[in-house]
Homo-oligomer: A and B are copies of this chain.
């Protein structure tokens, strides 16, 4: 399992550093921002699994930032505040924060709450995946949540690798992928020397997808470069 990334947003450096130590100790990946705007930038750039957000900050405060983040991202947010009046606001439904801790806080408790929220998010994600994720290419239909591929009425059975390669090309229609690139994307490993593993897979996919593998409708060969699905 990959390390989860946690974004700490606090203008007080010592607090951020303290939290960082504890989280890293638990095997989390940590990035930091010192105000709301920076936080928004970081989120755009990196895949963040949880945000710890201080309410009191110069510029865009934590509550505003929280609302802003929520507009585009369902990532779990834990808010920190020293003011009692904030509690109700935060745990109410309006801000969209998932949990709250009052300052000064016990770092162990924060870590436990972080873990708890991440677990919750994972479970929720499972349920969310229900929403079908459909890719359509002419009469070729790819459903990434049910792992189904069909052409018209005919159901095509693809192996996991074949499926991944097809999805990669289908999600990026028009783009040409070199053998090397495909290998890196699908296998998540570096590509060493030229075996033709990828080619063999491409052929298998064509065999299953195409009526005439010689004249493929979907996966086209770009000579000397790679493969693509035309736009």
Contacts and interface: CB of A to CB of B under 8 A. Distances in A.
Interface stretch (A7-15, A45-53, A172-180): A172-180
Contact of A92 (B84, B92, B116, B224): B116
Interface of A is mostly: mixed
Interface string A159-195: 1100000000000101110000100110000100000
Interface size of A as a range: 35 or more
A159 B224 CA distance: 7
B102 A109 contact: yes
Interface stretch (A36-44, A62-70, A118-126): A118-126
A90 B113 CA distance: 10
A73 interface: no
A146 B174 contact: yes
A26 B115 CA distance: 31
Nearest to A106: B102
Interface in A76-124: 84, 87-88, 90-93, 100, 102, 106, 108-109, 112-113, 115-116, 119, 122-123
A199 interface: no
Contacts of A224: 159-160
Sorted nearest first, the 4 A-B pairs with minimum C-beta distance are A160-B224, A91-B116, A87-B112, A91-B112
17 contacts: A84-B109, A88-B108, A88-B112, A91-B115, A91-B116, A92-B116, A123-B185, A126-B181, A126-B184, A126-B185, A145-B175, A146-B175, A147-B176, A147-B225, A159-B223, A160-B223, A160-B225
